[in-house]
Amino acid sequence: MLLIVAILTAPRAATLTVDPASASDYPDIETALLDASSGDIISLSAGSHSMCEYLNEVQLSFVGAGTSLTTVEVTSPCTAGFYLGTGVELTIEDLTVDASAASAIYMSTDNDVIATDVIFDGGQSSSQCAFINVLSSFTGTRVEFNNCGDGSEYLEGAAMYLWGSAEVTLTDSSFRDNQAGKGGAVFLNYFCGSPVLTLDEVTFENNFAVNDGGAIYLESAAVYSSGSSFINNTSQDGSGGAIGGGGYLESIGDIFTGNTASQRGGAIGDTQLNIEGARFSDNHADSGGALALSYGSVVSGSVFNDNSASTSGGAIDYSSSITFELSDSLFCANTAAQGGAISGEDYLSTILTQLRFAHNEASRRGGSLYLNVEGSTTEAISQTELRQSTVFGSTAPAAGEGVLLTGGNVVIHNTLLTHTDAGAGLHLGSVLSADVSHSGWYANTGGDVVGTTSIDLTTDGHVQADPLYVAA
């Protein structure tokens, strides 16, 4: 018996070369697309190529000769150089897109874009460099977004706008010198679903927003970031010098330095946070030099140094009915009028564990900590805990203190409060309950403990002696 087996193979992708200088190749992208089939590769020669194309239900790759050699210029009038209808799988590699005339990419519903070694340069035009719509995804590796947006108050997300359930994943990429009214570089907007932005070693530098979110603005959306850097971003008239808005941020090992907001949160403002191993330095705002909290948040393993606030919370500020957990972190040389390192008011709970405070300064109250819920609607159930921590070298006026705690229920265990300059170590105001034990008190200029609630430092395991610090 003879067995005949038929093997069917899919047609191989063709490579269509666009090179105006070669008579044997396509003179432009438009002509090449007339002959292209789904799965084909459009190879772009060194030089400049015009682009204003609508793509629908197709799989295509555009490959250049390198970002310094191949430039795709978006022509005018045009909505976007790459305008994707639906069902498009697009790959872009090794080229620069000049989006000074219109957007580089507009993605309608259900499209997927993969970009590798691509530069998007907006030329400070009035439109976003990239718009990613519902059910679409953008994955970028070594992608740069530069000079997108003109800083108009009405422009949102100059480099990238995520709408609805859009998903963006970026690795080893950057956003520099982008400017918008809100979300200087990226704007995530909830609409029938939450957009998600995932960042791995991405740099945001010198981005600008007139209002909230100098680099990123989240509106009921989520950002997951690791190993990223936020440097010298600005919110001119709003909150969140680097990141702002009422979304969710998970940050692991990120760096925030030199960011500024005129209102709240020099680095991050009014976003729900889960932060681990981050570094905050030289950030500034009116309140919350590094962080301003409006939602329950968790911060651990982080360093806050040289942040400043004009009014409250040189590093962190919050004044709403939230829960806040902070552990295993260092606060050094932060400054504010109230709460040189941290200022909190009217909260449900503040749990502080294994913290080190050194040389923080307040010009009025609370050289390191100012935590006050007295008279608030949350006072009856409010809990303040300071455990296994060191508060050293706080500076406050003679009538001030290193730590001010008043109102609610207070716990201080296994904590050192020493070397407060000018003020007392601890001001313990009128509280509902106080559980203070096994702590150390030494060399506080204005006394160890003052306030309306008294503590007997000769009992409960307290030590009033030199803690004999040694250099690490």
Which residue(s) pair with 222 in the sheet? 196, 248
Cα→Cα distances 145→94, 202, 236, 324, 427, Å = 14, 11, 21, 35, 50
Local structure of 326: helix, strand or coil: strand
Higher pLDDT, 9 or 391: 391
Question: What confidence tens digit (pLDDT) does each residue in 166-177 have?
Answer: 999 999 999 999
The H or E element that residue 29 is part of is helix 29-35
Q: Name the residue with tokens 């405070």.
A: 357
At residue 6 the predicted structure's pLDDT band, cuts being 50, 70 and 90, is very low
pLDDT tens-digit series, residues 425-462:
999 999 999 999 999 999 999 999 999 999 999 999 99
pLDDT at 13: 85
Q: What's the CA gap between 440 and 47, in Å, rounded?
A: 71
Per-residue tokens: 370:
């100012």
Evaluate whether 407 touches 431 at the Cβ level (below 8 Å). Answer: yes
CA dihedral of residues 354, 359, 365, 368 (deg, nearest 10): -10
CB 316 within 8 A of CB 291: yes
Looking at every residue in the chain, the average pLDDT score rounds to 95
Q: What is the pLDDT of residue 225?
A: 98
Q: What pLDDT score was predicted for residue 11? A: 55
291 vs 215: CA distance, rounded Å: 15
Q: What is the per-residue pLDDT across 310-369, written as a single tens digit (0 to 9) for each? A: 999 999 999 989 999 999 999 999 999 999 999 999 999 999 999 999 999 999 999 999
Give the neighbor-by-neighbor strand order of the sheet with 208-209.
Answer: 179-180, 208-209, 234-235, 260-261, 284-287, 308-312, 335-338, 361-365
When pLDDT is cut at 50, 70 and 90, the band that residue 125 belongs to is confident
176 Cβ contact partners less than 8 Å away, ≥ 6 residues apart: 144, 145, 146, 147, 203, 204, 205, 206, 207
CA distance 429 to 78: 65
Using one digit for the tens of pLDDT, what is the confidence trace for 414-427?
Answer: 999 999 999 999 99
CB atoms within 10 A of CB 192: 9
pLDDT classification of 57: cutoffs 50, 70, 90: very high
The DSSP secondary-structure symbol of 68 reads T
Q: What DSSP state is assigned to residue 453?
A: S
Give this prediction's pTM.
0.95
Mean pLDDT along residues 267-275: 97
- Rounded (to 5) percent helix, strand, coil in the chain: 0, 50, 50
The pLDDT of 281-287, averaged and rounded, is 98
**Confidence at residue 469, expressed as pLDDT on a 0 to 100 scale:** 81
pLDDT category at 5 given cuts 50, 70, 90 is: very low
Peptide bond just before 11 cis, omega within 30 deg: no
Residue 4 has pLDDT above 70, yes or no: no
- The dihedrals phi and psi of 454, each to the nearest 5 degrees, come to -90, 155
Query: Among positive and negative, which fits the CA dihedral 237, 243, 249, 250?
Result: negative
Residue 329 and residue 305 in contact, taking contact as beta carbons nearer than 8 Å: no
Q: Higher confidence at residue 281 or residue 127?
A: 281
Classify the C-alpha dihedral 441-314-264-279 as positive or negative: negative
Dihedral sign of CA atoms 354, 360, 366, 370 in order: negative
Phi, psi of 416, deg, nearest 5: -100, 130
Banded pLDDT at 472 (limits 50, 70, 90) = low
% the chain with pLDDT above 70 = 97
**Alpha-carbon distance 395 to 364, whole Å?**
10
Cβ–Cβ < 8 Å for 346, 373: yes
- What pLDDT, on the 0 to 100 scale, is given for residue 7? 29
DSSP assignment letter at 445: T
What is the identity of the amino acid at 43? S
Nearest CA to 90 among 161, 145, 140, 32? 140
Nearest CA-CA partner of 242 in 174, 155, 188, 183:
183
CB 53 within 8 A of CB 30: yes
How many Å apart are CA 446 and CA 278, to the nearest integer? Answer: 34
